Amino acid sequence: MGENYEVIGKSVPRIDGVAKATGRAKYTGDLKFPNMLVGKILHSPHAHARILNIDTSEAEKLPGVKAVITHRDVPSTKYGLSPARWDETIFCIDKVRFVGDKVAAVAAVDEETAYKALKLIKVDYEVLPAVFDPYEALKEGAPQIFEEYPGNINTEIHQHFGDVDKAFAEAYHVRRDFFSGQRTYHSPLEPHVSIAFWEGPKVTVYSSNQSVHYLQYHLARVFGMPMGNVRVLKTHVGGGFGGKLDPTGLDFAAVKLSQITGRPVKMLYDRKEMFYNNRGRHAQYMELTTGVTKEGKILGVHANFVMDGGAYTGLGVASAYYAGALLTVLYDFDNYKFDMIRAVTNLPGCGAQRGHGQPQPRFAFESHLDHIAEDLGIDPLEIRIINARKPKTVTINDFKVDSYALKEALEKAREISGWREKKGKLPPGRGIGVGNGGFVSGAGYPCYRTDLPQAVAIIKVHDDGSMATLYTGAVEIGQGSDTVLLQMAAEAMGYPLEKMRIVAGDTDLATHDFGAYASRQTLMSGWAVKKAGEEVKNKILQTAAEMMLVVPEQLDVKQGVVFLKAHPEESLTFEEVARTYFVKYGQLIGQGSYKPPKLGGTFKGAAVGTSPAYSAATQVAEVEIDEETGEIKVIEAWDVHDCGMVINPALLHGQVHGAFYMGMGESIWEEVLFDEKGDVANGNLAEYRMPTALDMPPVTSELVDSIDPNAPWGVKEVGEGATTPTMACLANAIYDAMGVRIESLPLTYEKVWRALKEKREKEKA
């Protein structure tokens, strides 16, 4: 795929690889500043309670305590990532809404003192009845958690495209199934950390986060400061996966505690507190009804979903819309109805987790589709080929899909997995399953300031041409964006990659960019980078033309050599030309910004789910089930991704492996559990069961040719899409192996064991 390119399409090592592998890389938690204090947050012990009084006097008296703050000391301005649902405050004012809600914070000379101080804060609560289940929360008479959400309904969506009832009436077969997905948590290795310090009117915040510009915006807005007085930057980030997009209590508290004490304040969440902060995957309850022709062509779909949002909205409005909106992309059908209620409960607030809103609906739909295929006697892979969307089409809910190679992905997956030889033909206990997925390549509209460009990039060439620096607000969180964007810059400039430097993820030094979420950076930040690089290239060609007495159109530049296209031996080095430019015109810089065209329809919520380009992915997995114990062993997996042009194949395949790993963990083992008080019961890495390397099967990651016309060099997303087919793929494989259908995630050994037991009992009966 990279044969026509010099720098992109190549598996160059990631630029932060050596630093990370040798331990030299400093994460936010590694940073120390002179005179730094440690801050900690006091969390609510009750799931729902009225705050009657907070007495911080004893805590303040403790030697070594430098500041104690509650809602009385900070703005009461509400914030959140869903523009119309700002419902969170720095600290709880009147009520606490879940075990772990933020009540107060301290700054002290060390962690021990800070923890002691937390214990000395006396909070009088009037405990209120709590509700932990969305269906309970939606019942009449349930405890009301927010005044602004009567009936505990946070978001309610009713969309109808075409005529579903008519489609069902005309269908050869209509089937309804019900599925559920559990709460999971991203569990990045690095906890949330925030360090704030003030200089004059300006605060600097080092935060382990996915979007320095989102955080800057919310800090500035809540504290009533000009954005220019808030600098947010990040060093290396140890994973985000959606959980580091929301501003955290740490960020706000550190800023205020630092302002009061005049000293840098470092705050971090311990593992349990990370589960309180959450923003992980919603629990979701999904009823699907689909009408098909005899040949398996889908005529209409009705998705009727309920989500457990937990206590605050965060990005939850988008999560709710995404769940239904993107169901229309993979398969081509003309009638679609989507009903959704996102309820609030007295549990930690949910948000975006890799694949945002998609993996569970895909689990549901892809399981459902297997049932339909079985009902009709069609091969499950075949029914997907029959329905697969074609490129250059528009979905019923107005998403413009220009490149789309799902059919090719399915065919290639069938090929490489040996589907035909295996499906229904594997030895007892073994099974094979297929699932499809995909994702947006950046959300068409950001969560705030929707009129802004999505991304801006500047490239500055050193005066002697021996170095060029890319300035981008893109945020490297481990996904490899720094490396990929530098490859794109070098390609666009015709410059060698090894001479590129990057300044990224810093609201002062870098450029505007909405950051790392919605799989947006390769396409959106990439557009800005490509344009900036091309501006540099044009200036180089113009200057070289003046030097060589030709016109720029006769020249090209590759890997630092400017040459006559007709006589490549007639050449100048990029350095010579850059230096001449510098002497004649001053600093050689290029600049690019990207704003997608208007996307989506005109109905309510039409913006959510729009993207300039959509990826598609097919996964096939083979499993082995232990009939005695229900143990699921994933034997092998195959992923074929339509992710457009690939900038760095090694990083791409790494994303696929990571996505499959994460999808597999959520499929089989991971679930956030709560005790009867509503407290997280397994908020640690021993009891929250993530897979290990030993659980990881061989994964073959393959690509299909696909170049998206709306993307720089035709790139599309890969980081999230590859998580979305996994749950169904494994559920379908289990069904193929044992004939049991697990309809609720996770597909635990116990559930398989119970289903097998039930099946045997039924067969006996």
- Contacts with its own copies, residue ranges (CB under 8 A): 18-19, 199-201, 226-229, 451-453, 456, 458, 460, 462-464, 466-469, 498-499, 501, 503, 507-509, 511-512, 528, 582-583, 585-587, 589, 591-593
Taking the complex as a whole, the smallest distance from the CB of residue 452 to its own copies amounts, in Å, to 6
Instruction: Indicate the residue among 152 and 507 with the shorter CB distance to its own copies.
Output: 507
Please, what is the Cα angle at 283 between 282 and 288, to 5 degrees?
Answer: 110
Instruction: Indicate the residue among 402 and 534 with the shorter CB distance to its own copies.
Output: 534
Region class of 249: left (phi > 0), else alpha (psi between -120 and 50), else beta: alpha
Are the C-beta atoms of residues 530 and 492 closer than 8 Å to each other? yes
Measured distance CA(160)–CA(546) in Å, rounded = 61
Instruction: Indicate the residue among 580 and 701 with the shorter CB distance to its own copies.
Output: 580
Taking the complex as a whole, the smallest distance from the CB of residue 581 to its own copies amounts, in Å, to 11
Are the C-beta atoms of residues 515 and 479 closer than 8 Å to each other? no
Phi, psi (rounded to 5 degrees) for 166: -65, -40
Taking the complex as a whole, the smallest distance from the CB of residue 549 to its own copies amounts, in Å, to 20
Instruction: Indicate the residue among 57 and 587 with the shorter CB distance to its own copies.
Output: 587
Instruction: Indicate the residue among 451 and 763 with the shorter CB distance to its own copies.
Output: 451
Question: For 110-197, where are the alpha helices, taking DSSP H only?
Answer: 111-120, 134-137, 164-170
Provide the token pair at 301. 């779909």
Please, what is the Cα angle at 252 between 132 and 451, to 5 degrees?
Answer: 90
Instruction: Indicate the residue among 517 and 574 with the shorter CB distance to its own copies.
Output: 574
DSSP category for residue 72: G
Taking the complex as a whole, the smallest distance from the CB of residue 679 to its own copies amounts, in Å, to 39
Taking the complex as a whole, the smallest distance from the CB of residue 4 to its own copies amounts, in Å, to 27
Are the C-beta atoms of residues 625 and 451 closer than 8 Å to each other? no
Taking the complex as a whole, the smallest distance from the CB of residue 584 to its own copies amounts, in Å, to 9
H or E stretch at 650: helix 649-668
* CA 728 to chain centroid: 19
Instruction: Indicate the residue among 75 and 162 with the shorter CB distance to its own copies.
Output: 75
Taking the complex as a whole, the smallest distance from the CB of residue 512 to its own copies amounts, in Å, to 4
Nearest in space to 296 (alpha carbons), one of 384, 368, 366, 362: 384
Instruction: Indicate the residue among 396 and 547 with the shorter CB distance to its own copies.
Output: 547
Instruction: Indicate the residue among 461 and 544 with the shorter CB distance to its own copies.
Output: 461
Provide the token pair at 289. 């009804």
Provide the token pair at 164. 């579903």
Instruction: Indicate the residue among 542 and 591 with the shorter CB distance to its own copies.
Output: 591
Taking the complex as a whole, the smallest distance from the CB of residue 211 to its own copies amounts, in Å, to 14
| CA-atom Rg of the chain in angstroms | 27
Please, what is the Cα angle at 395 between 391 and 396, to 5 degrees?
Answer: 155
Instruction: Indicate the residue among 342 and 512 with the shorter CB distance to its own copies.
Output: 512
Strand-by-strand arrangement of the 95-96 sheet: 95-96, 49-55, 122-127
Taking the complex as a whole, the smallest distance from the CB of residue 429 to its own copies amounts, in Å, to 51
Instruction: Indicate the residue among 482 and 642 with the shorter CB distance to its own copies.
Output: 482
Taking the complex as a whole, the smallest distance from the CB of residue 17 to its own copies amounts, in Å, to 11
Instruction: Indicate the residue among 262 and 698 with the shorter CB distance to its own copies.
Output: 262
Measured distance CA(239)–CA(29) in Å, rounded = 13
Taking the complex as a whole, the smallest distance from the CB of residue 591 to its own copies amounts, in Å, to 6
Are the C-beta atoms of residues 352 and 210 closer than 8 Å to each other? no
Task: Classify 484 as helix, strand or coil.
Answer: helix
On the 0-12 / 13-18 / 19+ scale of CB atoms within 10 A, 676 is exposed
CA atoms within 13 Å, Cβ hemisphere of 242: 29
Taking the complex as a whole, the smallest distance from the CB of residue 352 to its own copies amounts, in Å, to 24
H or E stretch at 387: helix 380-387
Taking the complex as a whole, the smallest distance from the CB of residue 230 to its own copies amounts, in Å, to 9
CA atoms within 13 Å, Cβ hemisphere of 575: 5
Are the C-beta atoms of residues 64 and 118 closer than 8 Å to each other? no
Measured distance CA(449)–CA(402) in Å, rounded = 27
Provide the token pair at 136. 């309970």
